Amino acid sequence: MSAQSKLAAASRNSSIKCVVWDLDNTLWKGTLLEDDNVELRPEAVEIIKVLDERGILHSVASKNDYLYAVAKLKELQLLEYFLYPQISWSTKVKGIETIAQSLNIGLDAIAFVDDQPFERDEVAHALPMIMCLDAARLDHLLELPEMMPRFITEDSKVRRLMYAGDITRKQAEEEFVGPKEEFLATLTMHFSIGVAQEEDLRRAEELTIRTHQLNSTGHTYSYEELDTFRQSDSHLLLVGSLEDKYGSYGKIGLALIECAPGAWNIKLLLMSCRVMSTGVGTIMINYIRKLARNAGVTLSAEFLPTDRNRMMYVTYKFAGFREVDKRYGLIRLENDLASVPAFPDYLRVSLPQIQPRKR
């Protein structure tokens, strides 16, 4: 790893979400266009399968013939592990940027594995936030802190399948002719909001660590902290789940509300970037607004701007929140609760059976 990549890795405060692999002399021994009988590197295959079980995704950035390479990956029974593979004669920098955009993740959440120092240096220079790894030195990759999530949740184990479902949805949307709402109606979506239970906390912690774009403050909370909030009489911790005809998105939303006498404050609201286009973030906000209105309390929210979460600020504004204060970078928003719209017709919503807290 170059000094520049080491510095980027040391400064990273998030875990790796996707490992991008070169093919020739990296995933397999040999050069495919010179010898069709390339040999898989067993250590690389083991790493791919172990990280897949941990919920870490994989893709490919390789200078190769696309059809030939894809056919070989399929023959080797590995194609299903690689999402949005970028196999062409373009630069690997461009390929990695395309993968990050397609997965809707930050470049700082990507690791790149390649046997060629030139390729690693080019990526490290253009994208210094990327963790670049030498394909000849993978012995301890599985033990790197960035590759070891604290918990492996049920969502982690099927994350690749969830993203594969996303690809199918995107293809269906591209082929659909008509308004966005009509397409969403074809998905038969079911959004569930529930009061967090103990078994939800591992995923809840993971959400605070992994979610950056639709995250109101960027704060992370540990399992222990979330469990304290779950049991607190002065807090409400909500979890959102989504599914449709293509499968489950898993648990994709989290809200932490501080319930003081006469006033509620949303301390944290986040939604997985995978559901950005479905409108469920607004549904979660409007549900909280209804609860607050029924409880006869005021409702505020905290928002801490980051370089990636402006979309959450826009979501708050569309839900009728207005900025009333800003101190030390933290913005306080308020909502007058005058008019809370009904949930959209294009999906079914299940709500928890809880009594509003009048505090």
Which parts of 226-321 are beta strand (E)? 235-244, 247-260, 263-271, 298-303
Q: Give the Cα-Cα-Cα angle 333, 336, 338 (nearest 5 degrees).
A: 150
- What is the Cα–Cα distance from 308 to 54, expressed in whole angstroms? 25
The yes-or-no answer to whether 3-147 and 182-350 have a common fold is no
| Own/partner long-range contacts of 196-202 (Cβ < 8 Å, ≥24 apart) | 196/226, 196/230, 196/237, 196/238, 196/239, 196/254, 197/230, 198/227, 198/230, 200/239, 200/251, 201/226, 201/227, 201/230, 202/151, 202/153
SS3 14: coil
Q: 189-195 and 214-215 as β-strands: parallel, antiparallel, unpaired?
A: unpaired
- What is the Cα–Cα distance from 268 to 303, expressed in whole angstroms? 8
User: What pLDDT sits at residue 354?
Assistant: 65
SS3 4: helix
Backbone angles phi, psi at 228, to 5 degrees: -65, -45
What are the pLDDT digits (tens) for 63-113? 999 999 999 999 999 999 999 999 999 999 999 999 999 998 889 999 999
Residues 6+ apart with CB under 8 A from 110: 16, 17, 18, 19, 20, 96, 99, 100, 130, 131
| Mean pLDDT by groups of 10 residues along the chain of 359 residues | 39 74 96 92 96 96 96 96 97 97 92 97 97 94 93 90 92 93 94 95 90 86 95 95 93 95 95 86 94 95 91 92 93 94 92 61
- What is the Cα–Cα distance from 281 to 269, expressed in whole angstroms? 9
pTM over 0.75: yes
Cβ neighbours of 350 (radius 10 Å): 10
Write down the H helix ranges in 56-116.
Answer: 66-75, 92-103
- What is the Cα–Cα distance from 66 to 89, expressed in whole angstroms? 9
Burial class of residue 246, CB neighbours in 10 A (0-12, 13-18, 19+): middle
Q: Cβ distance 155 to 149 under 8 Å?
A: no
- What is the Cα–Cα distance from 232 to 184, expressed in whole angstroms? 37
Residue 163 CA, distance from chain mean position: 10
SS3 24: strand
Tell me which H or E stretch contains 214. strand 214-215
Backbone angles phi, psi at 216, to 5 degrees: -70, -25
Tell me which H or E stretch contains 330. strand 330-335
Domain boundaries, the chain: 3-147, 182-350
Q: The domain 182-350 belongs to what CATH superfamily?
A: Gcn5-related N-acetyltransferase (GNAT) (3.40.630.30)
In this structure, CATH architecture of domain 3-147:
3-Layer(aba) Sandwich (3.40)
Tell me which H or E stretch contains 161. helix 159-175
The DSSP 8-state label assigned to residue 237 in this structure reads E
